[in-house]
Amino acid sequence: MKHRLIISLAVLFVLTFSAVCAQAQLPEIAGRIRSMAHRGDLHNAPENTIPSFKLAIATGIDSCEFDVQRTKDGVLVLSHDASLARASAGACTAKIADMTFEEVRKVDVGAYMGDKWKGTQVPTLDETLDLFQGSGCIPIIEIKVFGTERQIADSIIAHDMVKEVAIVSFNHESIRLMQQFCPGIYAYRNGGARNGMTDEQYVQWFIDSQKDCPYKVANPAWGDMKNVNTVKLLKTAGFTVSTWIIDDPKLINDLLDAGIDTMTTNRPAVMVEVFKAREGK
């Protein structure tokens, strides 16, 4: 029994030491990203647009995630989808990659949310970075198109925001390239399909699949994360842990109690209020 206790304590020490080392390697910005608005305040303004971001910033959310595409003539613009069909309520079905920037600008991506937002345009990455610069809200750029990394990096560098921006992508190579083009930038991989694995197997999958990642960040969808036990196991294994999309106040609290680092939400005002209430206790 004593022998088993010694072994258990030794394993715990190794895991804890590993966790500390992994955390120590993270850029300072990582510790400031606790809450994240998904495509802005998308329930109150058209997603991935300047009005949506302004509303999200006004809630006091820590960070705001958005998606970058590229037009046929090489302009980086914001859109989650490869086309504007959904954002324009079917008025424009062409792929952004097949459209010029002028053509993209003519598309109304606000009318689907009512008359108040008619005429809302697709913003460029540069316009979006202009908005976030100095706002106190950290922009989180999701790379949607492989091959845009150098151009995204150039925009970030031009805004002098390498230490004030984070990058996410489902593509591991995109993350590697961003870290190459913007040394010191906080860039990490999105997702992680569970595929029926147990909590322990899932954590081991993250360990194995991220051996060559400079920052050990686990950022699966909540549907893959599934429970707070997985959060605790990932934390013990030395990961910074994030998940999406979390809108329910009780679940936000449960995840914070479990030690989660970051949560992405479609309801930024709700998440901010939960954080404020906890700080007031």
- The per-residue pLDDT for range 142-153, each reduced to its tens digit, is 999 999 999 999
Neighbours of 93 (CB within 10 A): 10
pLDDT in tens, 19-68: 444 444 799 999 999 999 999 999 999 999 999 999 999 999 999 999 99
Does residue 226 sit within a domain?
yes
- Quote the number of domains for the chain: 1
Please compute the mean of the pLDDT values over residues 167-174 and round it to a whole number.
Answer: 96
Residue 36 lies in a domain: no
Is 259 within a domain? yes
Please report, for the domain that includes residue 253, its CATH number: 3.20.20.190
Q: With 60 as the cut, is the pLDDT of residue 253 above it?
A: yes
Interacting residues of 102 by C-beta distance below 8 A, sequence separation 6+: none
**Does 151 reside within a domain?**
no
User: Cα-flanking dihedrals φ and ψ of residue 34, to 5°?
Assistant: -105, -40
For the beta carbon of residue 183, count every other beta carbon within 10 angstroms.
Answer: 9
Q: Check residue 22 and give its pLDDT.
A: 41
Q: Quick check: is 262 in a domain? A: yes
Asked if pLDDT for residue 246 goes beyond 60, the answer is yes
pLDDT for 252 beyond 60: yes
Would you say 241 and 218 are in contact if contact means Cβ atoms under 8 Å apart?
A: yes
Reply yes or no on whether the pLDDT at 264 is more than 80.
Answer: yes
pLDDT confidence band for 281 (50 / 70 / 90): low
User: Distance from first CA to last CA of the chain, Å, rounded?
Assistant: 41
* The two three-digit tokens of residue 153, written as one number: 């990096």
Query: pLDDT at position 211, please?
Result: 85
Average pLDDT along the chain: 92
pLDDT at residue 280, rounded to an integer: 86
249 domain residue, yes or no: yes
Task: Examine residue 159 and state whether it is found in any structural domain, yes or no.
Answer: no
Q: How far apart are CA 41 and CA 135, in angstroms?
A: 16
Quick: pLDDT tens for 193-216. Answer: 999 999 999 999 999 998 888 899
Q: What is the pLDDT of residue 249?
A: 98
- Does residue 257 fall inside a structural domain? yes
Closest CA to 193 of 216, 172, 220: 220
Residue 229 backbone zone (phi > 0: left; psi -120 to 50: alpha; other: beta): alpha
Kindly tell me if the per-residue pLDDT of 87 is higher than 50.
yes
- For 220, the domain range is 191-281
